[in-house]
Amino acid sequence: MKIESHHGFATRQIHAGKEKNPKGALATPIYQTSTFEFDSVKHGGACFAGESEGYIYTRLGNPSLKVVEKKIASLEGGEACLAAASGMGAISSSLWTALSSGDEIIADETLYGCTYSLLAHQFRRFGIVTTFCDLSDPGNLRDALTERTKVVYFETPCNPTLKIIDIESVAGIAHAYNPAIKVFVDNTFCSPYLQTPLAAGADVIVHSATKYLNGHGDVIGGFVVSDEAFIADCTMIGLKDLTGAVMSPFNAYLIERGLKTLDLRMEKHCSNAEKIARYLLGHPAVTRVYYPGFEDFPGHETAKRQMRRFGGMIAVEFNMSRDETAAAIDNLELCVIAVSLGDAETLVEQPATMTHSTYSGEELKASGISESLVRISVGLEDAEDIIADFERVLRR
Ligand code: LCS
């Protein structure tokens, strides 16, 4: 049966992209092959010339990857998708494709640490300059745009402070200034179940599939979603020549498997996060809770408009120093001290010490990331047990 855009999210997360395979297997086979046999030299030549559709070599395409790419494109409402070896592979393959020496990026100042490092430090070595500003006030974008701006880049909610950026406003301002500007949104924290940035006017979506999309903590992967032409360039230039960051067929299989339960997992992540955020807010040892679901959280109204629910991520500050906070959370027993997010297990980390250690002390301050901040990726356990784990630690 052909799966179309009018089918519901759950139907698409299970069936979209699937192809009937020759042996009739229900699950997508893992095409664990680096290269593909041609019928003849002539056939091989036609494949290379783009005159025949056959597969050539897994860095250029593979049936296991194709299925999951089509599924993600369907869920995000995009024309096409490219799988990559990691979220950073997706980000670098797509940005290298969009940019040349002399171009400028405007990015929000609160980003995942390695994305920040790429934009703030690495691109600079190749003559690409990033201007950082607070895009939660879209007016700041107007002041930052120049004739050289090629890309506007942000996450929403931002890692790790969950700051909300209005996708429609930012894309509107960027495109009014220059329709050729590509607005990139990193949709990792939401997954397409909670938010579809292309529908709000963005041009390119990047994902770390390591997180909610796979959802089981056993894969590193990424995706780029956009129009056919840009994805073709990302494939044939960004990934093929510049980064080589190809996803393995086995990881494509695991992600496709994880995606079949994305909506169910996201609902539970969101419900659990809601309960834990409320518990933390009422605790005397807690000085601040960052959670977009609270009515007084800046950006709450925008979050309500552009997200289906408020997500599974929380950040929190306690009435303790950075070191005291670290010592306290070391005593958690059920929750795991680990980076990454979106897994079944509740993962707790200190961004200033771990995921955002690429920021200097001053940069952390400018981005609103306090040094004692703790980030919680709320898992799929029983909320009562997660709360009991924090309660035991905070009572000390
Ligand atoms: N984008 C966001 C928003 C991320 O949080 C991460 C990784 C990436 C991109 C990069 O994806 P990767 O290459 O790791 O698949 N974030 C991590 C985090 O917060 N903890 O550990 C990794």
Q: Which of 108, 166, 186, 343 is catalytic?
A: 186
The response to whether residue 341 sits with its C-beta less than 6 Å from ligand 1 reads yes
- Domains held by the chain: number: 2
Q: How far apart are CA 293 and CA 310, in angstroms?
A: 5
Supply the pLDDT for residue 22: 84
Which residue, 333, 342, 329, is CA-closest to 379? Answer: 342
Indicate if 190 and 220 belong to the same structural domain. yes
How are beta strands 286-290 and 129-133 bridged, if at all? unpaired
Indicate if 243 and 340 belong to the same structural domain. no
Indicate if 337 and 383 belong to the same structural domain. yes
For 94, 173, 344, 389, the CA distances from 339, given in Å and listed in that order, are 24, 34, 13, 18
Give the structural domain span for 70.
61-259
Tell me what the mean pLDDT of segment 100-111 comes to.
98
Q: How far apart are CA 27 and CA 255, in angstroms?
A: 12
Residue 317 lies inside a defined structural domain of this protein = yes
Q: How far is the CA of 9 from the centre of ligand 1 (A)?
A: 24
The response to whether residue 86 sits with its C-beta less than 6 Å from ligand 1 reads yes
pLDDT tens, residue by residue, 56-78: 999 999 999 999 999 999 999 99
The response to whether residue 159 sits with its C-beta less than 6 Å from ligand 1 reads yes
Residue 383 main-chain phi, psi, to 5 deg: -55, -35
Catalytic residue at 112?
A: yes
Indicate if 106 and 237 belong to the same structural domain. yes
Residue 187 lies inside a defined structural domain of this protein = yes
The response to whether residue 355 sits with its C-beta less than 6 Å from ligand 1 reads yes
Residue 34 lies inside a defined structural domain of this protein = no
Burial of 305-324, coded b for 16+ CB within 10 Å and e otherwise, reads: ebbbbbbbbbbbbbebeeee
Q: How far apart are CA 296 and CA 337, in angstroms?
A: 29
Residue 116 lies inside a defined structural domain of this protein = yes
Catalytic residue at 12?
A: no
Residue 4 lies inside a defined structural domain of this protein = no
Query: Are the C-beta atoms of residues 290 and 161 closer than 8 Å to each other?
Result: yes
Supply the pLDDT for residue 7: 97
Indicate if 272 and 320 belong to the same structural domain. yes
Q: How far is the CA of 87 from the centre of ligand 1 (A)?
A: 6
Q: Which of 18, 59, 275, 278 is catalytic?
A: 59
Supply the pLDDT for residue 306: 98
pLDDT tens, residue by residue, 205-244: 999 999 999 999 999 999 999 999 999 999 999 999 999 9
Give the residue from 221, 238, 259 where a domain finishes: 259
pLDDT tens, residue by residue, 283-322: 999 999 999 999 999 999 999 999 999 999 999 999 999 9
Residue 14 lies inside a defined structural domain of this protein = no
Indicate if 369 and 249 belong to the same structural domain. no
CATH code where residue 357 lies: 3.90.1150.10
Place of tokens 């395409």: 61
Mean pLDDT of the chain: 97
Give the residue from 238, 259, 280 where a domain finishes: 259
Catalytic residue at 186?
A: yes
Residues with Cβ < 8 Å from 124, sequence gap 6 or more?
A: 130
Which residue, 211, 261, 242, 254, is CA-closest to 32? Answer: 254
Using CA atoms in the order 346, 160, 342, 320, what is the torsion angle rounded to 10 degrees?
A: 0
Residue 16 lies inside a defined structural domain of this protein = no
The response to whether residue 256 sits with its C-beta less than 6 Å from ligand 1 reads no
The response to whether residue 353 sits with its C-beta less than 6 Å from ligand 1 reads no
Tell me what the mean pLDDT of segment 347-359 comes to.
96
| Residue 21 confidence class, pLDDT cut points 50, 70, 90 | confident
CATH code where residue 132 lies: 3.40.640.10
pLDDT tens, residue by residue, 86-105: 999 999 999 999 999 999 99
How are beta strands 336-337 and 347-349 bridged, if at all? parallel
Q: How far is the CA of 263 from the centre of ligand 1 (A)?
A: 21
Indicate if 179 and 273 belong to the same structural domain. no
Supply the pLDDT for residue 373: 97
The protein residue with its alpha carbon nearest to ligand 1, atom 17, reads 340
Indicate if 113 and 243 belong to the same structural domain. yes
For 352, 354, 356, the CA distances from 361, given in Å and listed in that order, are 8, 13, 10
Give the residue from 259, 282, 304 where a domain finishes: 259
Indicate if 372 and 227 belong to the same structural domain. no
Catalytic residue at 257?
A: no
Q: Is residue 1 predicted with pLDDT exceeding 90?
A: no
Residue 185 lies inside a defined structural domain of this protein = yes
